[in-house]
A = this chain, B = another copy of it.
Amino acid sequence: MKIGIYPGSFDPVTFGHIDIIERASKMFDKLYVLVSFNNAKNAFFTPEERVEIIKEVIKPLKNVEVISSSKLTVEVAKELGATALIRGLRAVTDFEYELQMASTNRTLNGDIETIFLMTNTQYSYLSSHLVKEIFALHGNISHFVPKYVEDRLIKKVKEEKTK
């Protein structure tokens, strides 16, 4: 059984991520979507919320499981028996960072291969960061994330305000 793992921050998950998840799910018997986080970075959603949101939007994909961890990705991969890390490639800036991570992960664990899929050109300039920026300025994000994600962003903002 071939097991893959797709790590990321997913804060929040976008149509670009969902496209990669769908395509990667066809390539493996089992695909893990890994919400990786570290305490330093200030995030919009908690890791638990992000897992919850991804689970909701990829519900139809039966061989995909969503988890979260603050450990090194290669460690998580090893524990799960995954032989491949999946990463989406969008643009050149991405590319450099991605090669750095792939090279580093290979140094840390030579048994796990990093596999890159090309992000659909339609989503090639889409990022979680951008979604949050536009949302903060009350722009329309319906082309970038599913309705459910939009609702959660709105709900979260309301919660923050009533704190």
A102 CB → nearest B CB, Å? 5
Task: Assess whether B113 is in contact with A116, with CB atoms less than 8 Å apart.
Answer: no
Q: Which residues of B contact A2 (CB under 8 A)?
A: 2, 27
- Nearest-neighbour CB distance to chain B for A129, whole angstroms, equals 10
Whether A103 and B116, one on each chain, are in contact in the complex, defined by CB atoms closer than 8 angstroms, is: no
CB of A79, distance to nearest CB on chain B (Å): 14
Asked if B125 contacts A38 (CB within 8 A), the reply is no
- Whether the Cβ atoms of B140 and A108 lie closer than 8 Å is yes
Chain A residue total in the interface (Cβ 8 A): 50
Q: How far is the CA of A97 from the CA of B125 in the complex (A)?
A: 8
| A64 → chain B closest CB, angstroms | 16
Contact of A118 among B26, B93, B103 (CB under 8 A): B103
Chain A residues at the B interface, C-beta cutoff of 8 Å: 2, 23, 26-27, 38, 40, 70-72, 74-75, 83-84, 89, 91-93, 95-97, 99-100, 102-104, 106-108, 113-118, 121-122, 124-127, 130, 133-134, 136-140, 143-144
Q: List 9 A-B contacts (CB under 8 A).
A: A72-B137, A74-B139, A92-B92, A93-B97, A100-B127, A100-B130, A108-B140, A113-B117, A116-B118
